């Protein structure tokens, strides 16, 4: 019996060859193999470089994020403190009048007014509003003891001026910059009433005198019933108006509202200095104002100001 075995290996020609030829047959382009080896080595270097950079940058990024979160908490506490200060200042303004003008009147204002009308009292009210536990967990250095109201003024120039100074330690900043000092302020006017005597402190009765003036008047009047405040309108011809004089000896000029030279007749008043072509002209309507004598700057009326 004869067996035939199929040769699975390629036939090698019967010619002489060396090891270099065999290698060339297996990899006809050795430069590609070199390039692949170079790229692989470069990738390993890049990965190593990225690992080193991440190790350096990541801590800095984390430090910056922690500092940013801390600053956000500082701003949040400052806003809450400002709100408490504003409410305290408004409450103090309510007690300003009895505290200032009615000293010893315990029935008005009472203990509440005495408690808040002072820097120490205002601080106690603010701390009570915020809560000691909240302040203890806040960025304030030394907790509630680190909040200072020493620069506050109560009822100075009739103002409630609360100025709070506190300090905080921001992380990851140089020691030379620590601690950071922060100032919050709330300022409102004290409710002490209004003095309508108008100048009574000067002791001058003249400043309290009320007089009457008109929009275009040249004098002030001490009586609203003065004859010069009662508008007296006269009719004159066109040829007469140039020669007419008012009671102060002044000429009459054309009205800015209704002046018309073509008219044959005009309307004038005894104390005015304009002539009018229409009786319903706004310049013929008299508006009387009540003012203080010190505000007029005008001489007295010859009829009622004597």
Same domain, 60 and 162: yes
Between 96 and 24, residue with greater pLDDT? 96
| pLDDT exceeds 80 at position 71 | yes
Q: Does residue 122 form part of some domain? A: yes
pLDDT at 284 over 60: yes
What mean pLDDT is predicted for residues 150-170?
A: 85
Per-residue pLDDT band for 156 (boundaries 50, 70, 90) equals confident
Give the whole-number percent of the chain exceeding pLDDT 70.
Answer: 70
Identify whether the C-beta of residue 269 lies closer than 8 Å to the C-beta of residue 284: yes
Q: Please indicate, yes or no, whether residues 98 and 217 belong to a single structural domain of this protein.
A: no
Q: How confident is the model at residue 80 (pLDDT cuts 50, 70, 90)?
A: very high
Q: Which of 189, 212, 242 is the last residue of a domain?
A: 189
Query: Is the residue at 141 inside a domain?
Result: yes
Which pLDDT value is given to residue 271?
75
pLDDT bracket for residue 197 (50, 70, 90) = low
Average pLDDT for the chain: 75
Structure confidence at residue 106 as a pLDDT band (50, 70, 90): very low
* Shared-domain flag, residues 214 and 240: yes
pLDDT per residue over 26-65, tens digit each? 555 555 554 555 555 555 555 556 677 777 788 888 888 8
Given a cut of 60, whether residue 295 has pLDDT beyond it is yes
C-alpha–C-alpha distance, residues 67 and 169, integer Å: 10
User: Which of 166, 189, 212 is the last residue before a domain boundary?
Assistant: 189
Specify whether 63 is located in the same domain as 155. Answer: yes
| Structure confidence at residue 83 (pLDDT) | 92
For residues 220 and 120, state if they share a domain: no
Residue 183 lies in a domain: yes
pLDDT at 224: 83
Q: Is residue 286 part of a domain?
A: yes
More confident residue, 197 or 118: 118
**What is the total count of domains within the chain?**
2
| Residue 228 or 79, more confident | 79
Statement to judge: residues 157 and 221 lie in one domain: no
What's the confidence (pLDDT) of residue 190? 82
Instruction: Let me know whether 222 and 155 are in one domain.
Output: no
Does 27 fall in a domain? no
Residues 220 and 104 in one domain: no
> Is there a domain that residue 7 lies in?
no
208-235 tens-digit pLDDT: 688 888 877 788 888 888 877 877 888 8
Hey, what are 253's tokens?
A: 């000029």
Q: What is the average pLDDT across 67-85? A: 89
Has residue 238 been placed in a domain? Answer: yes
| Same domain flag for 94 and 138 | yes
For residue 195, tell me if it sits in a domain: no
Token representation of residue 69: 């979160």
What domain range includes position 246? 202-295
């Amino acid at each position: 019996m004869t067996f035939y075995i199929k040769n699975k290996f390629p036939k090698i020609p019967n010619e002489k060859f060396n090891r270099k030829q065999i290698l060339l047959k297996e990899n006809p382009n050795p430069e590609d193999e070199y390039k692949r080896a170079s790229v692989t080595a470069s990738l390993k270097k890049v990965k190593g470089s990225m690992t080193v950079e991440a190790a350096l940058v990541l801590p800095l990024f984390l430090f910056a994020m922690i500092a940013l979160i801390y600053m956000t908490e500082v701003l949040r506490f400052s806003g809450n403190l400002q709100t408490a200060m504003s409410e305290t200042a408004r409450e103090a303004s309510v007690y300003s009048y009895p505290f200032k003008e009615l000293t010893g009147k315990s029935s008005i204002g009472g203990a509440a007014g005495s408690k808040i009308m002072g820097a120490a009292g205002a601080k106690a009210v603010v701390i009570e509003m915020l809560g000691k536990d909240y302040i203890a967990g806040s960025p304030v250095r030394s907790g509630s003891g680190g909040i200072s109201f020493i620069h506050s003024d109560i009822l100075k120039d009739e103002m409630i001026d609360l100025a709070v100074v506190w300090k905080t330690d921001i992380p990851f900043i140089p020691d030379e910059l620590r601690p950071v000092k922060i100032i919050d302020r709330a300022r409102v006017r004290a409710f002490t009433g209004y003095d309508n005597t108008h100048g009574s402190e000067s002791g001058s009765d003249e400043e309290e005198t009320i007089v009457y003036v008109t929009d275009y008047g040249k004098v002030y009047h001490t009586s609203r019933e003065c004859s010069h405040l009662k508008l007296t309108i006269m009719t004159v011809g066109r040829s007469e108006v140039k020669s007419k004089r008012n009671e102060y000896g002044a000429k009459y000029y054309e009205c800015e509202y209704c002046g018309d030279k073509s008219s044959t007749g005009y309307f004038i008043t005894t104390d005015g200095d304009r002539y009018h072509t229409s009786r319903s002209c706004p310049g013929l309507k008299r508006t009387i104002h009540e003012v203080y004598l010190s505000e007029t700057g005008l001489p007295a009326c010859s009829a009622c100001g004597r």
